[in-house]
Structure 1
């Protein structure tokens, strides 16, 4: 019977001079290596979700609070569509900057199904920096074009006010909290860097689409409230997706 070495895959010849218990190619003892493999498999931590249940996520409730308080300020101050769009554009920029910082602070990460220039890449510091830079440039261009659209189509710049600035600060504080929360979870797991790069788009597109659709209707307080509530729902839903889906460990034990 042919014996295959479990380490180097050498097929042992019946005439091999080495002892029957030893691989003639790499010299390992078959039974000892098999025992080592068994211990290594037992030590592997299976993939798991590192995010706690939504009810325990303080950043979720802070996000809901920031959205609802912004809604109240918008109604009391009789905001225009331009004011609302500028607020949510600012929130999008904050989300993007937090994501760049999050990518750069990754200690270990997976590159499964992630390619650069159509090539598979290893989870190295260079790949981390390259991914963060690509995201920053692409995301920044998207928001630059969006900002110009707001300036042309709405009174966004003329609508800057103390109330608007206060709401931007609220969202900045919320996303700073969420950033710290996510970084702590990243250090406990092995997030996929490709998923981290694309998820912000999945989060911001629904919330901006909601407001843009709302702008097609006749402006009124009722319309403003309705679409700000719908935006809040989209924001919260994607927050949950981010916290629940990005924190799965990659298979195996990190080096």
Structure 2
């Protein structure tokens, strides 16, 4: 693991995030399925981010609960608090993505996304393999950052409330670009959308990285 001169863990995950975004954009262009081939992989990426966030909370050994409350009451840094936090996060974050999944599935089945965002008449037959490949890619690219953060968490005493909140800060700009990108079409629109999404992804990763460093401090 790379370390800065001041002892902070180096942020080495940006390269992987950029590579995966470029990989997804190229796949969308080659397939001819346009935005359809972008939105599903980005949904997968969001789920991967949530999974690693939950695992970080589960792996906490020492953590702070300053200014953090459950049902309006202050809590102590105990295993019970840790379990409540990651369980709530799983249910809340998971429900949001379940609803998102249902909308994407309905739009895809109805052909709405194809009419607006695709250049091909039907999704590519290799789409399931493509989605599987993007899942593996995002697991690897975000897994590198996850390992660095967990190692630093174990050396410090991060605030569990911050760890639960940060993933939402990370994905909201990403999903806003997805929503507005759905209004675009054609190759130019796809490239513009992919570029904006990549920029938002990297920027919010940097914000997350700094917030978590502050939480550990």
Offset at residue 171 of structure 1 (A): 0.8
Equivalent pair of 1:203/1:235 in contact (CA under 8 Å) = yes
Compared with structure 1, are the counterparts of its residues 112 and 188 closer, same or farther at alpha carbon in structure 2 (3 Å cutoff)?
same
SS in 1 for 2:32: coil
Is residue 198 from structure 1 mapped to residue 165 from structure 2 by the alignment?
Answer: yes
Cross-structure match for 2:61: 107
Compared with structure 1, are the counterparts of its residues 170 and 249 closer, same or farther at alpha carbon in structure 2 (3 Å cutoff)?
closer
Alignment TM-score, normalising by the size of structure 2: 0.84
Cross-structure match for 2:88: 134
Runs of 4+ in 1 over 6 A off after TM superposition: none
SS in 1 for 2:33: coil
Offset at residue 137 of structure 1 (A): 0.4
Query: Of residues 233, 237, 241 in structure 1, which corresponds to 2:199?
Result: 233
Cross-structure match for 1:177: 144
Equivalent pair of 2:25/2:38 in contact (CA under 8 Å) = no
Offset at residue 202 of structure 1 (A): 1.1
SS in 1 for 2:13: helix
Is residue 186 from structure 1 mapped to residue 160 from structure 2 by the alignment?
Answer: no
**Any residues of structure 2 matched to 1:23-172 within 5 Å, and which?**
51-52=8-9, 56-155=10-109, 160-172=127-139
Unaligned runs of 5+ in 2: 1-5, 114-122
Matches of 1:77 and 1:51, distance apart in 2: 41
Task: Select between 79-88 and 118-127 the one with higher mean Cα deviation.
Answer: 79-88
SS in 2 for 1:91: helix
Offset at residue 162 of structure 1 (A): 2.4
Matches of 1:144 and 1:116, distance apart in 2: 24
Tell me which protein shows more helix as a share of its residues.
2
Select the structure with the greater relative contact order (CA < 8 A; seq sep ≥ 6).
Answer: 2
SS in 2 for 1:247: helix
Offset at residue 82 of structure 1 (A): 2.4
Equivalent pair of 1:92/1:204 in contact (CA under 8 Å) = yes
Matches of 1:250 and 1:115, distance apart in 2: 19
Equivalent pair of 1:60/1:236 in contact (CA under 8 Å) = yes
Unaligned runs of 5+ in 1: 1-48
Alignment TM-score, normalising by the size of structure 1: 0.72
Larger Rg: 1 or 2? 1
Count of aligned positions: 199
RMSD: 2.1
Equivalent pair of 1:103/1:132 in contact (CA under 8 Å) = yes
